[in-house]
């Protein structure tokens, strides 16, 4: 499988993302820029964390922080980080895992949705997130901020041919299970294997036809109200945590 990990940005912003990177890998944090006007508890906590980790922290005017993003919502903190040399290949990662739990995203181009999906995947203990290069958002500062630290620790692989990648996963005895509102069985009725790759498409559009046909099994999330669909990150959380629940039982 030719699956390379999406490299992280050299800049992360927002208190959650910066603190998460600082705690997980302080040696990779080159320097931190903090708004000179942030003297609240969060600002003081960040200063203390940087001092404990031996990371350089500079107080700067808000305008300098705005310059990183042209007025982006940085919450008053920006960090320059080194690109981490983590696992680059999904094959390499899967060789070390007995029962993989993966999240596959087909057509998720909004960075806020990707960030939220990475966050829920990390919370569920998913081993990696996979997406096609031609129909997916890459890791950028917005994704990193929304992910609240998950973008720094959850492997994200962007692949050239998603259908071929799903076929390769099947060869590893990983079941491909698609979340589809037209499926006969609900998520709670379906027989879900332990080694699983959950596949979700964009809200409203769903998976592409070829992706859907690549699935071993389709399951729908039972909807009891008036809304017809869920945000992809919410749907991903429901599916992943159902797998987590079954594994635990």
Quote the CA–CA distance of 222 and 34 in Å, as a whole number.
45
pLDDT score recorded for residue 69: 54
Share of the chain above pLDDT 70, in %: 90
Please answer whether residues 117 and 148 qualify as being in contact, where contact means their C-beta atoms are separated by less than 8 angstroms.
no
Query: Which of 64-78, 149-163, 179-193, 220-234 has the least mean pLDDT?
Result: 64-78
Number of H helices, E strands in the chain: 9, 11
Please answer whether residues 220 and 186 qualify as being in contact, where contact means their C-beta atoms are separated by less than 8 angstroms.
yes
Given CATH 1.20.910.10, say whether it is the number of domain 11-81. no
Please answer whether residues 76 and 18 qualify as being in contact, where contact means their C-beta atoms are separated by less than 8 angstroms.
no
Please answer whether residues 195 and 171 qualify as being in contact, where contact means their C-beta atoms are separated by less than 8 angstroms.
no
Token couple for 104: 């596959």
Nearest one of 5, 237, 199, 225 to 106, comparing CA atoms? 199
What is the DSSP code string of 161-189?
A: -HHHHHHHHHHTT-EEEEE-TT-SSBTTT
Average pLDDT, the chain: 87
Please answer whether residues 131 and 158 qualify as being in contact, where contact means their C-beta atoms are separated by less than 8 angstroms.
yes
Q: Quick one: pLDDT band at residue 22, thresholds 50, 70, 90?
A: confident
Of the ranges 14-23, 31-40, 173-182, the best mean pLDDT one: 173-182
Predicted confidence (pLDDT) at residue 7 exceeds the cutoff of 60: no
The structural domains of the chain, with segments of one domain joined by +, span 11-81, 90-248
Predicted confidence (pLDDT) at residue 194 exceeds the cutoff of 80: yes
Q: Which residues pair with 129 in a beta bridge?
A: 103, 156
Q: Which residue has the higher pLDDT, 137 or 84?
A: 137
CATH superfamily of 90-248: SPOUT methyltransferase, trefoil knot domain (3.40.1280.10)
> pTM of the full predicted structure?
0.74
pLDDT score recorded for residue 9: 47
């Amino acid at each position: 499988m030719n699956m390379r990990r999406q490299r992280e940005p050299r800049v992360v912003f927002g208190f959650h993302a910066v603190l998460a990177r600082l705690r997980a890998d302080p040696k990779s944090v080159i320097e931190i820029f903090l708004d000179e006007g942030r003297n609240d508890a969060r600002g003081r906590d960040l200063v203390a964390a940087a001092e404990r980790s031996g990371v350089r922290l500079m107080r700067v005017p808000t305008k300098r922080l705005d310059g990183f993003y042209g007025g982006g919502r940085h919450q008053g903190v920006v960090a320059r980080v080194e690109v981490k040399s983590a696992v680059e290949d999904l094959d390499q990662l899967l060789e070390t895992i007995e029962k993989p739990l993966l999240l596959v995203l087909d057509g998720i181009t909004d960075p806020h949705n990707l960030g939220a999906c990475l966050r829920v995947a990390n919370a569920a203990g998913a081993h990696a997130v996979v997406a096609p290069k031609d129909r997916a958002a890459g890791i950028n500062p917005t994704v990193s901020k929304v992910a609240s630290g998950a973008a720094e620790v959850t492997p994200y692989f962007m692949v050239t041919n998603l259908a071929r990648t799903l076929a390769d996963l099947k060869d590893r005895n990983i079941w491909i299970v698609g979340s589809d509102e037209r499926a006969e069985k609900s998520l709670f009725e379906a027989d879900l294997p332990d080694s699983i790759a959950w596949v979700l498409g964009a809200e409203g559009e769903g998976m592409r036809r070829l992706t859907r046909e690549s699935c071993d099994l389709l399951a729908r999330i039972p909807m009891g109200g008036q809304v017809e669909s869920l945000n992809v990150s919410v749907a991903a959380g429901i599916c992943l945590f159902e797998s987590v629940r079954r594994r635990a039982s």
